[in-house]
């Protein structure tokens, strides 16, 4: 059975792929085909959600966040646990970008090409972390992980405005604040390779959060709703974690957050 030649259907195919390496390769092929003009885009098609979303391997075992093992920088094992946790975040980020790409019809073409870019870059991030994990004597799936990021993706399947507000604008934006101290810990432990990967991830994640912010404000404008009060209401409705500092102010500004928002949350 051949691959779809329509972008959103292809994204769904990638999302259903369980093997991480195969998923990364499928995303790369989709991005290349789009760049070459070899796939179409039907923004109005209503695609049915099949079983098996998201496609993921049998391992890692998913547990509650409080049950994920502690990560110490003192040992190689501890650094491997941290790199594994980061790889799991990026693998989930590939899936959430693919879901944003295929699931919501009727949006401008740029929305879909934006989320294609995010899927491609998240796949690169996962591949970099998975390869580095191998140099530490482990593979993705060796440690337990949690699925809280994907849980919010599932909650917001019925509304692209809620998805943009609560996944990239809320949960992924937390990474902008968390990456610099993690990078410092890895560099202090002598893992310059991992620190360099985090530099790449932070650079790209600023753009990903900016995409979420931009489309959130676009959808608020289209619906004639106030973005500030709507955001506060969505946090409550979907039981999202509160937005709290300390913030990476420079990165958040680049990603489209206003000083007023950052002051209100501080």
From the list 148, 161, 175, the residue with the least C-alpha distance to 239 is 148
Q: Are 255 and 213 in contact (CB under 8 A)?
A: yes
* Banded model confidence at residue 63, pLDDT cuts 50, 70, 90: confident
The pLDDT value recorded for residue 89 is 95
Residue ranges of domains in the chain: 7-265
Distance of alpha carbon 150 from alpha carbon 155, whole angstroms: 9
Q: Is pTM, for the whole model, over 0.85?
A: yes
Buried-state track 146-175, b at ≥16 Cβ within 10 A, e below 16: bbebbebbebbeeebbbbbbbbbbbbbbbb
pLDDT digits (tens, 9 = 90+) for 75-101: 899 899 999 999 999 999 999 999 999
* pLDDT of 3: 74
* 125 neighbors 204 (Cβ within 8 angstroms): yes
Residue 1 has a pLDDT of 46
The 10s digit of each residue's pLDDT in 179-190 is: 999 999 999 999
Write the burial class of residue 9 (CB in 10 Å: 0-12 exposed, 13-18 middle, 19+ buried). middle
Q: Phi/psi zone of residue 190: left (φ > 0), alpha (ψ -120 to 50 degrees), beta?
A: left
| Alpha-carbon gap, residue 17 to 19, rounded angstroms | 6
Q: What is the mean pLDDT of residues 162-169?
A: 98
68/66 Cα distance (integer angstroms): 6
List CB contacts of 176: < 8 A, sequence separation 6 or more: 202, 205, 206, 209, 247, 248, 251, 252, 255
First-to-final CA distance of the chain: 53
| Residue 47 vs residues 7, 41, 103, 185: alpha-carbon distances, Å | 12, 13, 7, 44
CA proximity to 128, closest of 94, 90, 155: 90
- Is-contact 143 60, C-beta < 8 A? yes
Question: Coil, helix or strand for 210?
Answer: helix
Q: Which two tokens stand for residue 21?
A: 């390496």
Kindly report the average pLDDT of the chain as a whole number.
94
């Amino acid at each position: 059975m051949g691959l779809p030649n329509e972008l959103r259907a292809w994204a769904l195919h990638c999302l259903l792929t369980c093997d991480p390496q195969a998923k990364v390769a499928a995303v790369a092929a989709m991005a290349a085909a789009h760049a070459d003009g070899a796939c179409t885009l039907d923004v109005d098609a209503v695609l049915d959600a099949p079983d098996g979303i998201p496609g993921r391997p049998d391992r890692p075992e998913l547990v509650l966040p409080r049950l994920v093992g502690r990560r110490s920088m003192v040992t190689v094992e501890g650094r491997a646990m941290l790199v594994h946790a980061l790889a799991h975040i990026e693998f989930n980020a590939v899936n959430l970008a693919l879901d944003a790409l295929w699931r919501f019809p009727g949006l401008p073409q740029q929305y879909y090409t934006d989320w294609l870019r995010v899927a491609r870059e998240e796949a690169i991030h996962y591949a970099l972390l998975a390869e580095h994990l191998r140099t530490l004597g482990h593979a993705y799936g060796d440690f337990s992980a949690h699925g809280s990021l994907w849980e919010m993706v599932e909650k917001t399947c019925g509304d692209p405005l809620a998805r943009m507000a609560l996944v990239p604008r809320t949960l992924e934006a937390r990474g902008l604040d968390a990456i610099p101290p993690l990078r410092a810990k890895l560099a202090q432990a002598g893992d310059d390779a991992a620190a360099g990967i985090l530099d790449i991830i932070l650079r790209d994640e600023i753009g990903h959060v900016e995409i979420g912010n931009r489309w959130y404000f676009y959808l608020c404008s289209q619906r004639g709703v106030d973005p500030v009060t709507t955001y506060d209401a969505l946090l409550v409705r979907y039981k999202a974690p509160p937005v709290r500092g300390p913030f990476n102010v420079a990165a958040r500004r680049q990603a489209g957050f206003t000083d007023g928002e950052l002051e209100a949350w501080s």
